[in-house]
Structure 1
Amino acid sequence: MQFEHVGAQPRIHPDAVVAATAVISGDVTIGAGCQILHGAVITSEGGPITLGEHVIVMENALIRATSVNPVHIGDHVLVGPMASISGATIADEVFLATGTRIFNGARIGERCEVRINAVVHLRTTLPPETVVPIGWVAVGEPLVILPPERHADIWASQRELDFPGYVFGLDRDTPDLMVQLTERYGSSLARHATDRRID
C-alpha cells in the first residue's frame, strides 16, 4: 500500500518489489532491485527516506524518518524481520538482524553487523566493520558496546545523549513529561489523517 503524506508520494524503482501488505508512506525513494516484504512499514514523518539498490526489508520491519533525522540506507543492506530504524544513516553492505533497533541520529558504517535484538542507540556511530553482538547495546561517544546486564553503564552513556530532548524537544526533568510528549507527538502524527492512498 502506498500513501501520499503531506503532499509527498513514494518513488519506487520499477525493478523493486513491494509486497501488497507493506506500507510505503510519504517522501520515500526505493532503488532498483529492492525487496520490501509483507508487513514492512516505511514512513516519512517529515524527513526523506532513501533506500539504495538491492536493499531487503524483511517482514514487519519499520523504517521511519523524522524532520530532524532523515533515513539513508546504502546498497546491499539487509534489514531483518521486526527490525526498527528511526532517523539513521546506514552505509553499504550492512546486516541488521532480526529485532535490531537503530535510533535517531545513529550512523552505521560499511559492512557492519548488528546481530539479533542488538541496539545502536541515539547519536551513536559504528565505524566500518563493527559487530554488535546478539542482544548487546552500542551507545555513546566514545563508542562502547555493552551487554544488557550492564544497564548502569549503558545508562551512564545514554543519559548524556538526552533521548527526550533530542527526539522530542523536551527536558527529561519536566514533571509532566509523558503528558507533553504524547500530546506533542500525537499532534504531529495526526497529519496522517489526511493521507491519501495512491495505489
Structure 2
Amino acid sequence: MLFSHLGADPRIHPDAVVAPTAVISGDVTIGAGCQVLHGAVLTAEGSPVVLGENTIVMENALVRASSTHAVHIGPHTLIGPMASIAGADIGAEVFLATGTRVFNGAEIGDRSEVRINAVVHVRTVLPAGTVVPISWVAVGDPLLILAPDRHEEIWAAQKELDFPGYVFGLDRETPDLMVQLTERYGRSLSRHVSDRRLD
C-alpha cells in the first residue's frame, strides 16, 4: 500500500519488489533490487527514508523517519523480521537480525551485525564491523556494548544520551512528562489525517 504523506509520494525503483501488504508512506525512496516483504512499514514522518540498492526489509519490520531524523540505509543491508529503525543511519552490508531496535540519531557502520533482539540506543555510534551480541545493548559514543543484566551501567550511559530530550524535546524531570509527550507526539502523528492512498 502506497500513501502520499505531507505532500510527498514514495519513489520505488522498477526493479524493486514491494509486497502488497507492506505500507510505504511519504518521502520514501526504495532503490534497485530491494525487497520489502509482507507487513513491513516504511514511513517518512517529515524526513526522508532512503533504502540503498539490494536492501531487504523483512516481514513486519518498521523503518520510521521523524521530522528531525532521516533514515538512510546503505546497499546490501538486511533488516530482519520485526526489527525497528527510527531516525538512524545504517551503513552498507549491515545485518540487523530479528527483533533488533535502532533508535534516533544512531549510526551503524558498514558490515556491522546487530543480532537477535539487540538494541542500539539513541545517538549511539557503531564503528564499521561492530557486532552487538544477542539481546545486548549498544549505547553511547564512545561505544559501550553491555549485557542486558548490567542495567545500572546501561542506564548511566543512557541517561546522559537524554532520550526524551533528544527525541521529543522534553526534559525527563517534567512532572507531567507522559502527558506532554503523548499530546505533542499525537499532534505530530495526526498529520496522517490527510494522507492519500496511491494504489
- Category of TM-score, reference length = shorter chain: over 0.9
Matched, 1:124 2:124: yes
Gaps of 5+ in 2: none
SS of 1:189's equivalent in the other structure is helix
In the aligned structure 1, how far is the partner of 2:120 from the partner of 2:161? 12
Aligned residue number for residue 29 of structure 1: 29
In the aligned structure 1, how far is the partner of 2:154 from the partner of 2:140? 8
- Residues 102-136 of structure 1 show CA distances to partners (whole Å, capped at 9, x for unaligned) of 00000000100000000000000000000000000
SS of 2:9's equivalent in the other structure is coil
Aligned residue number for residue 101 of structure 1: 101
Q: Tell me the CA shift for residue 75 of structure 1.
A: 0.2
Residue identity in the other structure for 1:92: A
In the aligned structure 2, how far is the partner of 1:91 from the partner of 1:44? 19
Residue identity in the other structure for 2:89: T
Residue identity in the other structure for 1:7: G
Aligned residue number for residue 154 of structure 1: 154
Aligned residue number for residue 70 of structure 1: 70
In the aligned structure 1, how far is the partner of 2:142 from the partner of 2:42? 30
**Segments of 4+ moved more than 2 angstroms:** none
Identity %: 76
Q: Tell me the CA shift for residue 141 of structure 1.
A: 2.0
Aligned residues: 199
Residue identity in the other structure for 2:113: E
Aligned residue number for residue 86 of structure 2: 86
In the aligned structure 1, how far is the partner of 2:54 from the partner of 2:111? 15
In the aligned structure 1, how far is the partner of 2:128 from the partner of 2:177? 37
Q: Tell me the CA shift for residue 140 of structure 1.
A: 1.1
- Per the normalisation by structure 1, the TM-score is 1.00
In the aligned structure 2, how far is the partner of 1:113 from the partner of 1:141? 17
User: How well do the aligned residues superpose, as a CA RMSD in angstroms?
Assistant: 0.4
- Per the normalisation by structure 2, the TM-score is 1.00
Residue identity in the other structure for 1:152: E
